[in-house]
């Protein structure tokens, strides 16, 4: 190799090193933060006997195994096919996957076919015009004044990924694609949970309506007895009006519950993705349902089972890669372009090799030196988003643990409340018979009978509500542990 060639190569290398040093000195200092994934070793609050604390986790059960009601299973199965929000999320996954394809394409060289045709006239009093005027083409003729130009060839361009800028962008796109899948899984858990909540609310309303109708029959019978008592001058007109008012109040309450049933059915129909129609359900054994036992596992399992935590984790990984991509823009980029083809002013010379053969190869090393405000702003912004992703990830973990703790306490307290409310209902049912007997023997007035019936109705309604809350609490526990998306 000649000394001049060596000097040229050394000069190019020196300029490249100089550009890298200059650009590296101008990179802003940023505050990096590592995420904290530490969680408590156990749940301190598993007081209920239905809560099992070991490595076994109810979240590992598929929803078809967790829910035993065939009507509820059928509704969930239909919703997973037709729910609008879920289908929108699936479209977002497709869009995220296309970003991976685009990022992969950025790494590979591109290859284009170029076909062109044109005509050119240059001024005779220019250097090119004077040279054309003095030159001759292959057959001895003068160069024409209007010179055609025909060409066909292949052109390629390839940016060499020196600093992993393109590969990091590809990996970030893949992380966001994984995050979109977890977003879909998270939506599935919420959808399954919401349908189960609404289903148990619906059958609870059916039972409330049945209790009100039963109570209406009791009150109507009591009203007839009071009317007979009035005829016998044992009570006044006031007693009749009081009992009539109580009957009318409960008849009005019946229509309120009917409206709640309609709205709950339509909420389920919306989640299932269909127009309003009756919802098939099994309400007959509602009060006999026993909440399933729950195995909470250990808190560290939340990191694997909860889709929202994994979604935040993938977003965090992508944000860290974005910082690296933004940082790489401070350094020089190397792009190689080349082309090969045929070029002639006349078709009869078109494939005359090597006379009509044209080719070129060029390597560009481009480094930003001045006006780098946009690059700095992008780098600072990427780091800020990375910090946000760290805090969002830690917040999601904290929220998950808190939700489990809240549901542990809720399940325990609802069990205690249900047991006591059951005793109250049993006592009031007995008091109704006692009050009626005392009233018939004139040892109790009508208000005692009326209040006893009213208290019994309210207690039964509250018992149904607590039962519904118990079942919903178990569903919530299944969701917050990360179950329902499998």
Instruction: Dump pLDDT digits (tens) for 436-462.
Output: 778 777 777 778 888 888 888 999 999
Q: Would you say residue 275 lies in a domain?
A: yes
Dihedral in degrees, nearest 10, Cα atoms 429, 433, 438, 439: 90
185, 485 Cβ separation under 8 angstroms: yes
Cα(35)–Cα(398) distance, rounded to whole angstroms?
12
Q: Would you say residue 136 lies in a domain?
A: no
Mean local confidence (pLDDT), 173-180: 96
- 243 Cβ partners below 8 Å, 6+ apart? 219, 222, 223, 226, 446, 450
pTM: 0.84
pLDDT (0 to 100) of residue 283: 93
Domain with 422, as residue range(s), is 3-123+143-480
Q: Would you say residue 133 lies in a domain?
A: no
Cα(280)–Cα(444) distance, rounded to whole angstroms?
46
pLDDT (0 to 100) of residue 5: 59
**How many domains does the chain contain in total?**
1
Q: Would you say residue 336 lies in a domain?
A: yes
Q: Would you say residue 98 lies in a domain?
A: yes
CATH of the domain at 279: 1.20.1600.10
Percentage of residues in the chain having pLDDT higher than 70: 89
Average pLDDT, the chain: 87
Q: Would you say residue 485 lies in a domain?
A: no
Residue with tokens 């372009």: 337
CA neighbor of 339 nearest in space, from 364, 360, 362, 363: 360
Q: Would you say residue 91 lies in a domain?
A: yes
Q: Would you say residue 132 lies in a domain?
A: no
Mean local confidence (pLDDT), 125-131: 73
Mean local confidence (pLDDT), 68-97: 94
CB environment 199-227: b (16+ within 10 A), e (fewer)? bbbbbbbbbbbbbbeebbeebeebbebbe
Mean local confidence (pLDDT), 268-277: 96
pLDDT (0 to 100) of residue 261: 97
Cα(256)–Cα(211) distance, rounded to whole angstroms?
14
Q: Over the stretch 321-373, which tens digit does the pLDDT of each residue have? A: 999 999 998 888 889 999 999 888 777 777 888 888 888 998 887 877 777 88
- 316 Cβ partners below 8 Å, 6+ apart? 35, 386, 389, 390, 392, 393
Cα(397)–Cα(313) distance, rounded to whole angstroms?
10
- 232 Cβ partners below 8 Å, 6+ apart? none
pLDDT at 1 > cutoff 50: no
* Distance in Å from the first CA to the final CA of the chain: 66
Mean local confidence (pLDDT), 9-31: 61
């Amino acid at each position: 190799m000649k000394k001049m060639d060596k000097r040229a190569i050394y000069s190019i290398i020196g300029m490249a090193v100089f550009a890298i040093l200059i650009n590296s000195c101008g990179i802003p200092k940023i505050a990096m933060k590592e995420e904290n994934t530490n969680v408590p070793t156990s749940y301190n609050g598993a007081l209920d006997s239905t809560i099992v604390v070991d490595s076994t986790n109810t979240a590992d059960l598929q929803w078809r195994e967790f829910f035993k009601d065939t009507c509820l299973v059928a509704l969930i199965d239909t919703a997973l096919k037709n729910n609008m929000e879920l289908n929108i999320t699936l479209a977002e996954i497709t869009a995220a996957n296309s970003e991976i394809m685009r990022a992969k394409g950025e790494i590979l060289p591109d290859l284009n076919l170029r076909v062109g045709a044109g005509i050119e006239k240059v001024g005779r009093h220019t250097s090119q015009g004077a040279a054309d005027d003095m030159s001759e083409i292959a057959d001895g003729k003068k160069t024409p004044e209007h010179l055609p130009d025909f060409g066909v060839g292949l052109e390629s361009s390839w940016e060499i990924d020196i600093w992993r800028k393109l590969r990091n962008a590809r990996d970030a796109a893949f992380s966001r694609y994984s995050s979109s899948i977890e977003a879909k899984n998270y939506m599935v858990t919420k959808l399954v949970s919401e349908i189960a909540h609404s289903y148990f609310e619906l059958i609870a309303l059916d039972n409330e309506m049945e209790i009100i109708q039963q109570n209406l029959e009791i009150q109507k019978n009591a009203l007839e007895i009071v009317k007979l008592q009035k005829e016998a001058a044992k009570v006044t007109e006031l007693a009749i009006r009081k009992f009539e008012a109580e009957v009318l109040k409960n008849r009005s309450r019946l229509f309120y519950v009917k409206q709640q049933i309609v709205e709950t059915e339509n909420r389920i129909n919306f989640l299932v993705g269909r127009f309003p129609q009756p919802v098939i359900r099994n309400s007959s054994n509602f009060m006999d349902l026993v909440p399933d036992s729950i195995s909470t596992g250990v808190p560290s399992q939340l990191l694997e089972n909860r889709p929202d935590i994994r979604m935040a984790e993938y977003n965090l990984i992508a944000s860290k890669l974005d910082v690296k991509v933004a940082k790489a823009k401070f350094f020089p980029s190397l792009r190689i372009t080349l082309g090969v083809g045929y070029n002639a002013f006349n078709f009869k010379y078109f494939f005359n090799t090597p006379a009509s053969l044209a080719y070129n190869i060029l390597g560009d090393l481009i480094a930003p030196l001045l006006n780098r405000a946009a690059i700095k702003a992008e780098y600072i912004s990427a780091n800020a988003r990375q910090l946000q992703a760290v805090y969002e990830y830690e917040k999601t973990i904290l929220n998950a643990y808190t939700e489990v703790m809240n549901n542990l306490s809720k399940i325990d307290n609802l069990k205690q409340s249900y047991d006591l409310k059951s005793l109250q209902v049993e006592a009031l049912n007995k008091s109704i018979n006692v009050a009626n007997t005392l009233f018939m023997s004139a040892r109790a007035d009508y208000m005692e009978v009326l209040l006893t019936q009213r208290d019994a109705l309210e207690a039964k309604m509250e018992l149904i509500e607590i039962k519904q809350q118990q079942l919903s609490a178990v569903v919530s526990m299944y969701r917050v542990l990360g179950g329902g998306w499998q």
